[in-house]
């Protein structure tokens, strides 16, 4: 008997120059992404759902650059293997069963074997870099899109390579990114997949948890008007195009101190499926709760953006980041440095950091 599946959220929803600080800037103006004075010890990646899977792949492939990762409802490094979208759906997430659980089959062993092989081949940075790095993992107990077992596998994978992991998996959260700015109640599933949870009646702040892991004691969050600037930047100069399902513009938040030349950190923040700007506006960028901490703790935040696409281009109707190889129909190198979308994202990091 063939089981029927309910597709609720197909594939996881999931020295400064030139950029003046001006919170009143025209939001439609697209600027060139600039270089800043970035401390190489403070370069991090974060992501939710498809962006969570992609964040793991960016972190592992470029572990010499990224010094930590925050992953919400993602999964193991090579979860989809070489099987494409069908394998990704069946094993990793995006597909809700009649039992109201996310479809899941462990690919942990295959992922670790692939990671080890690529590390030995030099197609990714040495896996030994992961040892001692801080990693934050979030998995809601009510997530019906990415099975909590998948995040448990990711926890095991990171621990296997010696990362220092904090695994937040006790909140009754539905699939989404958790932040005090999130517009949905903790257990609510739906667009824009931005949830807020509480502890003893007080708002929880998962971003504070992982930034404290990464940076140590933080300056207080700015809950008022931000002094930095949120601006649009041109993604096409880095190779963004419909062929890799990426839009022409992304967003970047630059604290005033960073624009003035102070040494700062960097967070590359990747949204999930169905969270692209053309679908939900700027709610991912403004509700993630990263900018409020970045403003007072000197962190540039880069928010790449995707687009939905279909044949004859990549089949990606929900504007997911490419963690299973959809680019140019199928990119077998999607999880290593030579991956098509991986290269676009890393080129942005290179620009901001000045790193080769």
Identify the pLDDT of residue 12.
35
Query: Is position 319 within any domain?
Result: yes
Q: Which of 9, 63, 119, 143 is catalytic?
A: 143
Q: State yes or no: pLDDT of 199 exceeds 50.
A: yes
Range of weakest confidence among 84-98, 136-150, 192-206: 84-98
pLDDT band at 96 (very low <50, low <70, confident <90, very high): confident
Mean per-residue pLDDT for 250-278? Answer: 98
Range of weakest confidence among 44-48, 66-70, 94-98, 119-123: 94-98
Query: Is position 2 within any domain?
Result: no
SS (H, E, C) the chain: CCCCCECCCCCCCCCCCCCCCCCCCCCCCEECCCCCCEEEEEEEEEEECHHHHHHHHHHHHCCCCCCCEEEECCCCCCCCCCCHHHHHHHHCCCCECCCCCECCCCCHHHHHHHHHHHHHHCCCCCHHHHCCCEEEEECCCCCCCCCHHHHHHHHHHHHHCCCEEEEECCCCCCCCEECCCCCEECCCCCCCCEEECEECCEECCHHHHHHHHHHCCCCCCCCCCCCCEEEEEECHHHCCCHHHCECCEEEEEECHHHHCCCCEEEEEEECCCCCCHHHHCCHHHHHCCCHHHHHHHCEEEEECCECCECCCCCCECCCCCCCCCCCCCCCCCCCCCCCHHHHHHHHHHHHHHCCC
Whether 49 sits among the annotated catalytic residues: the reply is yes
pTM of the shown model:
0.92
Q: Which of 153, 175, 295, 331 is catalytic?
A: 175
Q: State yes or no: pLDDT of 283 exceeds 60.
A: yes
Query: Is position 270 within any domain?
Result: yes
Query: Is position 333 within any domain?
Result: yes
Q: State yes or no: pLDDT of 263 exceeds 90.
A: yes
The C-alpha atoms of residue 12 and residue 73 are separated, in whole angstroms, by: 8
The C-alpha atoms of residue 108 and residue 130 are separated, in whole angstroms, by: 17
Query: Is position 24 within any domain?
Result: no
Identify the pLDDT of residue 355.
86
Whether 143 sits among the annotated catalytic residues: the reply is yes
Query: Is position 106 within any domain?
Result: yes
What does the pLDDT look like over 289-344, one tens digit per residue?
999 999 999 999 999 999 999 888 899 999 999 999 999 889 999 999 999 999 99
Neighbouring-strand partners of residue 195: 178, 184
Identify the pLDDT of residue 27.
52
Neighbouring-strand partners of residue 48: 72
Identify the pLDDT of residue 94.
87
Mean per-residue pLDDT for 121-126? Answer: 98
The C-alpha atoms of residue 159 and residue 127 are separated, in whole angstroms, by: 12
Query: Is position 17 within any domain?
Result: no
pLDDT band at 207 (very low <50, low <70, confident <90, very high): very high
Q: State yes or no: pLDDT of 15 exceeds 50.
A: no
Mean pLDDT of the chain: 92
Range of weakest confidence among 18-27, 187-196, 256-265: 18-27
The boundaries of the domain holding residue 74 are 30-353
Identify the pLDDT of residue 10.
35
The C-alpha atoms of residue 281 and residue 287 are separated, in whole angstroms, by: 11
Please count the structural domains in the chain: 1
Percent over 70 (pLDDT), the chain? 92
Mean per-residue pLDDT for 215-235? Answer: 98
Identify the pLDDT of residue 121.
98
Q: Which of 9, 49, 63, 245 is catalytic?
A: 49
Mean per-residue pLDDT for 232-247? Answer: 97
The C-alpha atoms of residue 123 and residue 49 are separated, in whole angstroms, by: 24
Query: Is position 18 within any domain?
Result: no
């Amino acid at each position: 008997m063939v089981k029927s599946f309910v597709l609720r959220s197909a594939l996881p929803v999931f020295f400064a120059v030139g950029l003046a600080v001006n919170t009143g800037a025209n939001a439609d103006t697209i600027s060139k992404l600039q270089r800043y004075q970035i401390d190489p010890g403070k370069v991090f990646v974060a992501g939710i759902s498809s962006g969570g899977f992609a964040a793991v792949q960016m972190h592992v492939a470029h572990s010499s650059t990224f010094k930590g990762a925050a992953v919400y409802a993602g999964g193991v490094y090579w979860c989809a293997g070489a099987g494409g979208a069908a394998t990704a759906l069946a094993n990793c997430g995006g597909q809700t069963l009649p039992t109201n659980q996310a479809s899941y089959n462990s690919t942990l062993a295959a992922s670790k074997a692939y990671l080890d092989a690529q590390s030995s081949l030099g197609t990714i940075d040495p896996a030994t870099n992961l040892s001692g790095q801080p990693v934050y993992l979030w998995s809601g107990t009510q997530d019906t899109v990415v099975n909590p077992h998948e995040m448990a596998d990711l926890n095991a994978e990171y621990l296997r390579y010696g990362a220092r992991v904090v695994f937040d998996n006790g909140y009754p959260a539905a699939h989404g990114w958790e932040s005090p700015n999130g517009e949905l109640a903790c257990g609510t599933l739906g667009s824009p997949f931005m949830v807020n949870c509480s502890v003893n009646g007080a708002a929880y702040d998962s971003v504070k948890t992982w930034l404290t892991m990464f940076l140590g004691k933080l300056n207080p969050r700015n809950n008022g008007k931000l002094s930095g600037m949120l601006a649009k930047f041109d993604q096409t100069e880095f190779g963004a195009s419909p062929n890799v399902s990426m839009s022409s513009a992304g967003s970047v938040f630059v604290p005033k101190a960073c624009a003035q030349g102070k040494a700062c950190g960097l967070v590359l923040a990747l949204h999930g499926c169905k969270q692209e700007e053309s679908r939900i506006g700027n709610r991912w960028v403004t509700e993630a709760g990263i900018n409020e901490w970045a403003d007072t703790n000197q962190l540039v935040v880069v928010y790449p953006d995707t687009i939905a696409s279909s044949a004859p281009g990549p089949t990606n109707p929900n504007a997911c980041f490419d963690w299973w190889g959809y680019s140019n129909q199928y990119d077998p190198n999607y999880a290593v440095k030579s991956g098509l979308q991986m290269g676009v994202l890393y080129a942005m990091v290179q620009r901001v950091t000045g790193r080769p």
